Structures are given as structure tokens and as C-alpha cells.
Amino acid sequence: MKKKLFLMISFFVSFLLVNAQSKSKNSQQPNIIIILVDDLGYEDVGFNGCKDILTPNIDKISKQGAKFINGYVSYVVCGPSRAGLITGRYQDRFGFGRNPLFAPNDPEMGLPLSEETLAEALKKSNYKSVALGKWHLGAHESLRPLKRGFDDFYGFLSGGHQYFPDEWTLKDEYEVNTQFDAYRTKLLRDNTRVEETEYLTDALSREAVNYIEKYKDDSFFMYLAYNAPHTPLQATEKYLSRYVSIKDEKRKTYAAMVSAVDDGVGKILNKLEALSLTENTIIFFLSDNGGPENHNASNNGVLRGGKSDVFEGGIRVPFAMMWPKKIPSNIVYDKPIISLDIFATAIAQTKTSIKSKNKIDGVNLVPFLTGESNETPHDYLFWRKFDANDYACRDLDGEKIAFRKGNIMLFDLKNDISEKNNLIDIKPQSFDFLKNIYFNWESEMLDPIFLGLGEDSEYSKLHPDRFIRKNNPNKN
């Protein structure tokens, strides 16, 4: 009996030691948090010079790490931009060249299953992954977060959402009758619809804090995709009251929405600090595309154009990163980087040597920020808006070609960040060189594999059962 008891105790102690060692090993890996906002203007954060909107918590990310003054996203609107970020690959490589429609019966309307998400990649190194907020990578059950590597999800599947719970009147995706009805669906926790009572941005911030607490003893990846400050412009009095000095009502509401995000970022930073997780947590902050100034009163500052443009205002975004354990504070990094680099940076820091399923286009940014490398992360960056036949390409020195609405342009971003001076007649050889670079890249891309937001009516005619439930009515 004593021998049996001794063996049981020995086994239990061994189990605890192995478990503790496993947790210790995982804890050496950095936690990774991506805070992605929606339609934020380039000059609407303090670290990019904003004067009328206060963003002290967002600015801490920049102050404690690096701000990228030439930080780009890979597409001019949200859906494809998110597909690029979550895979580390130009979205046109796999035909995600349009904003996907809300189509809960269509397994092809979203991120193809051939693509590996960052959550799936990090799972190879025992990360727990949480997706919060806006998904917009497919509403079909096979394309949702829990099927794409995430352990938890709290948010919505569509490209936007109403912010006040009393407007969430549709119990699920099959009460939707039109594309934008999806803005009024109840939120999902994993695969179950829930009753929420808080203003949407606050609810997402609350959930972020709760999941940090849940996974504090694990290596975790959090993809926090706020839909603010995307329209509809809606804010609570708590945030509106901070901006009585802003007389333009649209700008005032927009400012309040950004302020709500900033409060949420503050809660996340405070929670990390309370749990002694700050030092070894990588945080990225960026917008999914440039601000649509006329629609939501955002401000892209000196940048030309905005959301949906291949001009700088559509693709250059507020972009910051911190990792106190490795990256010095107050870095201003001026070489061009892109959202695709987030994937590469994340998997390069894990203890397991993660090999991505597909060849990625991003690069690990850490050596460039620590001074280990004096090279440039990218020689060229590319953008393509397939349906408009618009495209752009810039090199590391700031020369950029743009083809937009039939106009061909060449800019020198180092001396003309506002893209006012078309140099094509002065430097035709530079234009021809960059055009050849671009078309070599484009030859590797695919045409869009699904109809997008611009083909909403056409898609509905082809799919009259678009919103008719086909599965078990009790399965959600």
C-alpha cells in the first residue's frame, strides 16, 4: 500500500513539474496582440500629430516602442487588407481582391481554406488565440474564426456593425435580408448568439481584458479588430462629452469613437501591467486602410486621397509596435514596412521553429528595429485594385508609380509626400522601371475568386437562397 501511494505521489509530482516546465517554456514566448482599427485617418492619433483628438494610451505603444512613418497596409479597403494581414501574404495571391459579401451559405465567399492564418501558424507553438470584433473573412460556418485556428471568438462576421445593443434586433445571420442588415445581428461568442448590453467598442475592450486574464499563464495571440471608427457614426455621451470644443458634429462623434478605442487600449495596457506581462508582449497598432474623410470626418493630414485610393491617404496608416523586452523605446522608423510583416514578425519570435504553410511576403521587423540589421525590409511594395484597374508600386527610396482612373503618375514621396507633382515627363525611365517591377509582381497574382461588394445585386440574383437557412435550424 505504501509503495502504491509512493508511486501515485511520484507520478503526481512529475506531472506538476512537467506542466510547470511547459508553462515556463511557453511563457518565454512573447504574447502577441494586434489592435486593428477601422477607417482611422493617418493624422488622427497623437503620435502622428493629432491636435483635437486625445489618444494617450494608443500613443504609449509608440512611445514604448516604434512608430512607422512609412507604415502601409496591403489593400485600399478593409476585407482584402485583413486577409493580407492575417496570412502575411498579398491577398491577390489567393484571389481575395474584393470586399467579400455577407453570404452565410457560401463557403467560397471569404478567406480560402488553402490559406493559413496567423492563429493556425502560432498553434504549432502552443499559442492560445482569440479573435475579437470584426471578422469579415467569411460568414459561412467553415470560414469562421474557430475553424481558422482561433480558440475563442467574440464579435460579428460582417464588414460593419451598429454600435448600440438596442439596434441588434436580428437574432442570427438568417434573419438578414440584405447586405447591410448584417450590421444589426446579435453578437457571437464562439458559435452562439449572445445578449450584450454595452456599447460595442466598450464590450470588445472588456472581452480583451477578460481573455488576457484567462490566458495569462499561456502564450497567447489576440486579434482585436475594433470596427470603430467605421460608420455608422455612433458614440455614447461618456465620450461625446470630451469633445464639446469640436463644433462639427460628424467630427465630434468620430473623435468620441476614437476616444472609446483609446480607453480600451488603456485598459489592455493596464491589465498587462497588473499581470506583469507588459515586458514580453508584442503589441501592434494600425488601421486597416486610410480614413474616408468625407464619410466619417477622419483626417489623413497632408496625405492625398483616402480609403479606396492607391494614393498615400488610402494605404499609409497609423502604425506602431512595442515589445519592451526587445525593442527600444521612442523609435521613429522611416523605411517602408507593410502589415504583411506582422505575420512574419510574430512567428519568428516563437520557441518552436514555425514553418508557414505558404510562402509569405512579410519580413521579421525585429532585427531592423533593434539595429541588428541596417538593410531595408522591402525593396518594393505593391497595391492593386483589380476592378478599378488601379495600381501602385513604391521603392525603398520613395519613388512611386500610380495608375488611377486612367491617369499615369510618378511621385517622389521623400520630397512630395502629398503627391502633388507628377514627375512622369521628367523621369520617364523611373516610371518605366517601376512599371516593369509592378507587372512582374502582378503576373504572380490571381484575379478575384468571388464577387464582391460592388456586385451585391448580381450575386443575389445568382444566389436567390443567399439568406435562407440550409443547415439544422438549431445549429448556429
Which residue is associated with the grid cell 502601409?
Answer: 72
Which residue is associated with the grid cell 438578414?
Answer: 176
Do 392 and 90 meet the contact criterion of CB atoms below 8 Å apart?
Answer: no
Measured CA to CA, the distance from residue 362 to residue 87 in angstroms comes to 9
Measured CA to CA, the distance from residue 210 to residue 216 in angstroms comes to 10
Closest Cα partner for 239 from 263, 271, 209, 270? 263
Q: 220-235 in b/e burial notation, b at 16+ Cβ within 10 A?
A: bbbbbbbbbbbbbbbb
Is residue 378 among the annotated active site residues? no
Distance of CA 90 to CAs 107, 381, 437, Å? 21, 10, 15
Q: How many CA atoms lie within 13 A of 262 on its CB side?
A: 21
Q: 141-167 in b/e burial notation, b at 16+ Cβ within 10 A?
A: bebbbbebbbbbbbbbbbbbbbbebee
State the catalytic residue, choosing from 136, 161, 230, 378: 136
Closest Cα partner for 221 from 302, 76, 115, 117? 117
Do 36 and 85 meet the contact criterion of CB atoms below 8 Å apart?
Answer: yes
Torsion on CA atoms 23, 24, 29, 35, rounded to nearest 10: 60
pLDDT at 5: 47
pTM of this structure: 0.93
Q: What is the pLDDT along the chain (476 residues), one digit of tens a residue?
A: 445 444 445 445 444 444 444 444 445 899 999 999 999 999 999 999 999 999 999 999 999 999 999 999 999 999 999 999 999 999 999 999 999 999 999 999 999 999 999 999 999 999 999 999 999 999 999 999 999 999 999 999 999 999 999 999 999 999 999 999 999 999 999 999 999 999 999 999 999 999 999 999 999 999 999 999 999 999 999 999 999 999 999 999 999 999 999 999 999 999 999 999 999 999 999 999 999 999 999 999 999 999 999 999 999 999 999 999 999 999 999 999 999 999 999 999 999 989 999 999 999 999 999 999 999 999 999 999 999 999 999 999 999 999 999 999 999 999 999 999 999 999 999 999 999 999 999 999 999 999 999 999 999 999 999 999 986 444 44
Quick one: three-class SS letters along the chain?
CHHHHHHHHHHHHHHHHHHHHHHHHHHCCCEEEEEEECCCCCCCCHHHCCCCCCCHHHHHHHHCCEEECCEECCCCCHHHHHHHHHHCCCHHHHCCCCCECCCCCCCCCECCCCCCCHHHHHHCCCCEEEEEEECCCECCHHHCHHHCCCCEEEEECCCCCCCCHHHCCECCHHHCCCHHHHHHECCEECCEECCCCCCHHHHHHHHHHHHHHHCCCCCEEEEEECCCCCCCCCCCHHHHHHHCCCCCHHHHHHHHHHHHHHHHHHHHHHHHHHCCCHHHEEEEEEECCCCCHHHHCCCCCCCCCCCCCCCHHHHECCEEEECCCCCCCCEEECCCEECCHHHHHHHHCCCCCCCCCCCCCCCCCHHHHHCCCCCCCCCEEEEEEHHHCEEEEEECCCEEEEEECCEEEEEECCCCCCCCCCCCCCCHHHHHHHHHHHHHHHCCCCCCCCCEHHHHHHHHHHCCCCCCCCCCCCCC
Closest Cα partner for 40 from 292, 343, 385, 395? 292
Measured CA to CA, the distance from residue 134 to residue 204 in angstroms comes to 10
pLDDT at 14: 47
pLDDT at 20: 44
State the catalytic residue, choosing from 78, 230, 378, 393: 78
Measured CA to CA, the distance from residue 65 to residue 77 in angstroms comes to 27
pLDDT at 475: 40
Which domains occur in the chain, in start order?
31-378 (3.40.720.10), 382-462 (3.30.1120.10)
User: What type of residue sits at position 18?
Assistant: V
Is residue 393 among the annotated active site residues? no
Measured CA to CA, the distance from residue 60 to residue 269 in angstroms comes to 9
Q: And the C-alpha cell for 120?
A: 493556425
pLDDT at 13: 42
Measured CA to CA, the distance from residue 441 to residue 443 in angstroms comes to 5
Q: 9-29 in b/e burial notation, b at 16+ Cβ within 10 A?
A: eeeeeeeeeeeeeeeeebbeb
